[in-house]
Structure 1
Amino acid sequence: MPERARPIRTSAVPAALVAAGLLLTACGTTPMPDAPAAGSPKPPTTPRAAVTLGGPGSACALPVSFALAEDWKPEAIKNPEDPEFAALTRQGPATVRCEVDAKPSGNIGYLRVWTAPKSPARTALEGFVKAEKGSSAASYRETKAGALPATEVTYTVSDKLTEESKEERAFAVSTPKGTVIVHLGGLDTDEHRAMLPAYELAKSTTKAL
């Protein structure tokens, strides 16, 4: 993302964009729907890996690394531990560390990386989802992120102000340096589904560091 990092709560994108600007200035299981809905603004295609995030010299220091789709722009979150901005940088047990902007690739949304104290991946992921305002219908499954055991969730977030709901998803892995949650939001469900190939690229290439 060419813009500066915005630690945004994903439950209300427009409002969170404003809040994030202030922050920067101041410092059961069911199958997951992978196919895009008809009328998606940008039909999903297999993305080309551009850079690796999380490793030495990358934009964000993380306990894992993974490949980013071409034109997705990462930036580390500044001062994520500052209690003044906890409402923006904390969600349940997790603290946001890195934000990858999809806008340069033609979509509106972010891939965000969160870390939590070492714990089972599912435990951290459940706490993360429950802490998101308006979340419901969470569907969990055990899967793989690269070669690592992982837990993945698809859920719905409802906004009372707009009276609309949208899909979101995330996966979590437990590493010796803590639990990592990689979350994909989006302006709406169509944007979210259009960005799934980039999310799947990140998941399939995840490695513990």
Structure 2
Amino acid sequence: MPARAPFLRTALLAAVLLTACGTTPEPDATPSAAPSGKPAGKPAEDSSREPAVKAAGSLGGPGTACALPVSFSLAEGWEAEAVEKPKDPAFASLVTQGPATVLCEAKSEGTPDIAFLRVWTAPEGSARSVLKAFVEAEESRGIVLTDLRAGAVPAVEARYSVYSKLTEEWRETRSFAVRTGGGAVVVVGLAGLDSGEDAVTAAYELAKGTLRTS
């Protein structure tokens, strides 16, 4: 596996832990409260009250950590690295989710939170169809799709909950998708144990609000 592949290492470790844990209990049929000590993620209408974060650089443009078909501002304390495709075909599924392949991962290294902003791309389709397939490719529920703008670009956003087999709980998260001029669709997804924290969702909103296509 490539030396610079933190996303792959994390995905592989998760797969090993799940195997070691044996069977996984079925999630509750009703939404659970937020993890102990962690407040529930804010609903869509509360996004305007999320705390402001300081932009400490950009991602996606020339000279940045990842070459992407889009660019956006990265919040202070977040560090990005390109995700390399595994050389072993057996691990190819670790970098795909539905129709999308991950290109870049930004981690909240310099903050108290555990969270990731991942940039995925699909070669074709509409932003809505790709985003819906992307979300449904993992164990999710309560998906709400909304048409909006990411920067000045038409976009679709999904708010939903995902089930973590490692922590055996549901957590709220969100992703958005845009279609680039070349026809590809880019998905920017929020993930991690603290994906519902105010500072984390603010970093996501910063990326969404500053997005530009190449």
TM category, shorter: 0.7 to 0.9
Provide the TM-score with structure 1 as the length reference: 0.79
Distance 1:76 1:160, change over 3 A: closer
1:26-105 counterparts in 2 under 5 A?
32=44, 34=46, 45-79=51-85, 83-105=89-111
Q: Give CA deviations for 1:107-157 in whole Å, capped at 9, x if unaligned.
A: 10100000001321001000101101x211101100000000000001111
The alpha-carbon deviation at position 78 of structure 1 amounts to 1.4
CA distance in 2, matches of 1:158, 1:136: 8
Which of 127, 152, 157 lines up with 1:147 in the alignment?
A: 152
Does residue 169 (structure 1) correspond to residue 177 (structure 2)? The answer is: no
Unaligned runs of 5+ in 2: 17-42
Do the aligned partners of 1:44 and 1:195 also contact (CA within 8 Å) in 2?
Answer: no
User: What are the Cα deviations for residues 89-124 of structure 1, in whole angstroms up to 9, with x where unaligned?
Assistant: 000000000000012122101000000013210010
What TM-score, normalized by structure 2, do the two folds share?
0.77
Residues 1:128 and 2:134 are matched in the alignment: yes
After superposition, give the CA deviation of every residue in 1:49-85 in whole Å (9 maximum; x if it has no partner): 1111000111001000000001210000012686332
Give 1:16's match in structure 2, choosing from 11, 15, 19: 11
Is residue 115–residue 179 contact of structure 1 (8 Å, CA) maintained in 2? Answer: yes
Quick one: percent identity of the two aligned structures? 51
Alpha-carbon distance between aligned partners in 2 of 1:47 and 1:116, rounded to the nearest angstrom: 29
Asked whether the 8 Å contact 1:8–1:19 carries over to 2, the reply is no
Query: Where in structure 1 are there 5+ consecutive unaligned residues?
Result: 10-14, 22-30, 37-42
Superposed CA RMSD: 2.8
| Secondary structure, counterpart of 2:44 in structure 1 | coil
Q: Which is greater in Rg?
A: 2
**Residue in structure 1 matched with residue 185 of structure 2 by the alignment:** 179
